[in-house]
Amino acid sequence: MFSKIKSYIIESKQEFKRVNWPTKQETSRMTLVVVILSLATALFLGALDFIFRYLLGKFIL
C-alpha cells in the first residue's frame, strides 16, 4: 500500500515538472478578463431584474 502512495507522489512530481505554467503577464491578463466578464454579467442580470420588477409592478399591481 505504501509503495502505491510513494509511486503516486513520485509520478505527481514528474507531472508537475511537465506542466506548461502561464507567465505572470498571462495570468494577470486572464484574471482581468474574468473580472470584466463577471462585472458585465452582474450588470446585465441586474438590469434584467430591474426591468422585470418594473414591468411586473406596472401590470400586476
For the stretch 13-57, pLDDT in tens is 999 999 999 999 999 999 999 999 999 999 999 999 999 999 999
pLDDT band at residue 61 using 50, 70 and 90 as cut-offs: low
Nearest to 33, CA basis, from 43, 44, 41, 21: 41
Torsion sign over Cα 20, 26, 30, 31: positive
In three-state secondary structure terms, 21 is coil
**pLDDT recorded at residue 59:** 87
Q: What is the pLDDT of residue 18?
A: 92
Domain ranges of the chain: 23-61
Distance CA 33, CA 18 (A): 26
Asked whether residue 60 carries a pLDDT value surpassing 90, the answer given is: no
